[in-house]
Chains A and B, each alone.
Chain A
Amino acid sequence: MSEHHKETFLTKYIFSLDHKMIAKQFLITGMFMGVVGMLMSILFRLQLSNPGESFAVLEFFLGEKWAPGGVLDPNIYLALVTMHGTILIFWVLTAGLTGTFANFLIPLQIGARDMASAFMNMLSYWFFFAATIVLLCSLFVESGPAAAGWTIYPPLSALPQAIPGSGLGQDLWLIAITLFVVSSLLGGLNYIVTILNMRTKGMTMSRLPLTIWALLIVAILGVLSFPVLLSCALLLIFDRSFGTSFYLSDIIINGEALHNTGGSPILFEHLFWFLGHPEVYIILLPALGIVSEVISVNSRKPIFGYKAMVGALILIAFLSFVVWGHHMFITGMDPFLGSVFTFTTLLIAIPSAVKVFNYLATLWRANIRFTPAMLFAIGFVSTFITGGLTGIILGDSALDINVHDTYFVVGHFHIVMGLSAIYGMLAGVYHWFPKMYGRMMNKKLGYFHFWVTFISAYGVFFPMHFLGLAGLPRRYYTNSAFPMFDGLSDINEIITFFAIVGGLVQLLFIFNFFYSIFKGTKATENPWGSNTLEWTTPVERIHGNWPGEIPTVERWAYDYSKPGAEEDFVPQNVPLKEGETEH
């Protein structure tokens, strides 16, 4: 333990081994990337609602080359869409969300002084940082950043002649993703081993807070699925750089017939979605964990059906490995295989429904304290329901034929995993901010932030279902080329309006965040009256988390409003009273 070592600025803030500092590094990097990704979406939304019109802001950010006369270039439109997806999915909602809360909460909630390997943990952040730098660099290369969609289907992503973004930009994208995967694996290994080995006395698996369960399962998903993404990317790198034919066959590009034969782009899709689908749950599960915790604390009630909640998490995680084919119903796959994937996909609705009903049951006869975190958690339940339900349409192979790759899909996944995960993340930040920085975030700004976010987010993504049902494909630079879409311009304008409002209000959140770090009112040790172990640590940040002995755990994390207790919460380290049963 290096508790008594003198810390310099460098070891305290930059090359820190302390899991709490590493968590903050992930959070702030994730927030920065979030702003970048959000800005990109607003830039391309301007083009979608006002196709071909000139905007000074486009020229300001993209320059004369990519926005000549303030009009977005179609190639950079695709690049913006690609980078927006990549950044939000991997940088914000994977690293920013899991990296932050796994690092912060795992040692604190299980009662450990730090991660199993603090060094690997630091390495995990620095690989992530390097990935971030490479990805940001790709924004400035001559031929533009990667532009083949975040799913980088070859041959589009394999041939620089097919689209400018598939040149150096795509190379940097692949390098960034490789670094990112290494970072995730280093982190994931550490999370699993820490949770399995470093729990304090009495912290049995059945007493783990749901956040930790979710993070454990996410880490397992990551360790199993990210290497497959790497193998998928490796073969693509071979095709791009060495001219092999894993994914390429019978291609004429720019009038030139390539020698490659026998490769199959469908092979790429299989490998990609074997990661890609678990990735969706890598994003969603931490949010489910955080929301379970926040809802229980602020309802002043135990989470309803703890065991069912854990079981549902495990079932969802397991199913996520056998549903990848539902992204490929219209690739000409064997119809029987399509039936199997439809079946497994729709099964996910069952554990998801159990989770929703358990949340509702937790709120029933609660004593709800509306913190900003709680509002985001309730918002999560709403978006999880809305987005989950439309998944039943997309998971059904027959219905997918006509909505596949339309705006219906865009609406669906932005609500169910984009908004839900962001709400979970924001709930987590508001909830654990006092523990992270020893100060409170401003409540009123928090309320304002939530309501504007909630309204504008639905304002952006709900109307997209109607665009999709009108047959509008996603990733169209403009829909003005087809008279059948002419009636949709009012919907597009509304979406862009809400996107701008929703984007601006996030700046207010960032302001609140940094203001509160320095000027927020001082927090007490346990401001929310919470049971979990992190709230038994002192407000002042120390390496090693507890000044004395690590507390032992005597009960589960959800004894809120338990009859017979003096207060409406009983922390986990309080021994059971004579004759008291556990739950």
Chain B
Amino acid sequence: MQLNLKKNKASKQLLWIGIVSIVMFFGGLTSAYIVRKAEGGWLEFEMPVWFTISTIAIIVSSALLLFAAQNVKSGKSATTLLLGTLFLGILFSYSQIQGWGDLVAQGVYLTGEGSNASGSFIYAITLMHLLHLIGGLVALLITTVKSKQGNYSKDNYLGIQLASIYWHFLGILWLYLFLFFNYS
């Protein structure tokens, strides 16, 4: 039990420090964005509505996941709520892709004649966020399956905790990026 607690603590720390390095990664990208923007020649454009939908989706998904974790802690099943989270996560990915489509329709291109660094940055950064999110989806899928199999209990829910920490982090990261793109 003692060893288990120690191991749980270590796993969470691993995840947290991993999150710190992801923050540095996006910190690098967004500070590049700021530096580049300050140099001028910057194309301004409207953020697609789909990105707002994504934002709502990921906030709701985080809320569902919170409830799921509560359920497990009090010994109830979390499978339905986890499925809901997973669904909203997929919805998020879908609307991100739709958002790119909107951008292209607006004439904001990743590359080629007429493209501008402001557009390229949006594509690059949202793509990188989405790649990290796919990792989160895989983690959620595993926890959902394990929850369905009844692998979690009041005393054993580390998997859900780890997945939650990472998922909430991705939500907060997106929220930051969303506000950053709109208001920086």
A–B touch (CB < 8 A): the answer is yes
Hey, which bits of chain A sit against chain B, CB under 8 A? 116-117, 120, 185, 188-190, 192-194, 196-198, 223-228, 230-232, 234-235, 238, 242-246, 259, 261-264, 267, 270-271, 274
Which one of B34-42, B66-74, B77-85, B133-141 contacts A? B34-42
> Are A259 and B112 also in contact (CB < 8 A) when A189-B17, A245-B120 are?
yes
CA distance A453 to B124 in the complex (A): 48
Give every chain A residue within 8 A of B116 (Cβ-Cβ): 245, 262
Contact A270 B35 (CB under 8 A): yes
User: Shortest CB–CB separation between residue B123 and chain A, in angstroms?
Assistant: 8
- Interface residue? B97 (CB, 8 A): no
We find that the number of chain B residues with CB closer than 8 angstroms to chain A is 34
Hey, which bits of chain B sit against chain A, CB under 8 A? 6, 9-11, 13-14, 17-18, 20-22, 24-29, 32, 35-36, 39, 41-42, 110-113, 115-117, 120-121, 124, 128
Would you mind naming 13 contact pairs between A and B with Cβ atoms under 8 Å apart?
A: A117-B10, A189-B14, A192-B17, A197-B9, A227-B24, A228-B27, A230-B28, A238-B120, A246-B117, A246-B120, A259-B113, A267-B32, A270-B32
Give every chain A residue within 8 A of B24 (Cβ-Cβ): 223-225, 227-228
> Are A263 and B117 also in contact (CB < 8 A) when A116-B14, A193-B10, A244-B124 are?
yes
Contact B17 A231 (CB under 8 A): no
> Are A120 and B21 also in contact (CB < 8 A) when A244-B110, A261-B41, A271-B32 are?
no
Q: What 9 pairs across the A-B complex have the smallest Cβ distances?
A: A231-B28, A227-B25, A228-B28, A227-B24, A243-B111, A244-B120, A262-B41, A116-B10, A227-B21
Give every chain B residue within 8 A of A267 (Cβ-Cβ): 32, 35-36
B27, B36, B113: the one within 8 Å of A246 (CB): B36
Residue of A nearest to B17 (CB): A189
Contact A264 B39 (CB under 8 A): yes
Give every chain B residue within 8 A of A271 (Cβ-Cβ): 28, 32
Give every chain A residue within 8 A of B39 (Cβ-Cβ): 262, 264
- Per DSSP, are chain B's interface residues mostly helix, strand or loop, or mixed? helix
Contact B14 A190 (CB under 8 A): yes
Give every chain A residue within 8 A of B6 (Cβ-Cβ): 197-198
CA distance A246 to B27 in the complex (A): 16
Give every chain B residue within 8 A of A197 (Cβ-Cβ): 6, 9-10, 13
CA distance A16 to B67 in the complex (A): 40
> Are A231 and B120 also in contact (CB < 8 A) when A197-B9, A224-B20, A264-B36 are?
no
Give every chain B residue within 8 A of A190 (Cβ-Cβ): 14
Give every chain B residue within 8 A of A244 (Cβ-Cβ): 110-111, 115, 117, 120, 124
Residue of A nearest to B42 (CB): A262
Residue of B nearest to A197 (CB): B10
CA distance A38 to B22 in the complex (A): 35
Contact B17 A223 (CB under 8 A): yes
Give every chain A residue within 8 A of B41 (Cβ-Cβ): 261-262
User: Shortest CB–CB separation between residue B61 and chain A, in angstroms?
Assistant: 25
Give every chain A residue within 8 A of B121 (Cβ-Cβ): 246
B10, B115, B124: the one within 8 Å of A198 (CB): B10
User: Shortest CB–CB separation between residue B169 and chain A, in angstroms?
Assistant: 14
Give every chain B residue within 8 A of A223 (Cβ-Cβ): 17, 20-21, 24
> Are A185 and B21 also in contact (CB < 8 A) when A116-B14, A231-B29, A259-B112 are?
yes
CA distance A263 to B25 in the complex (A): 20
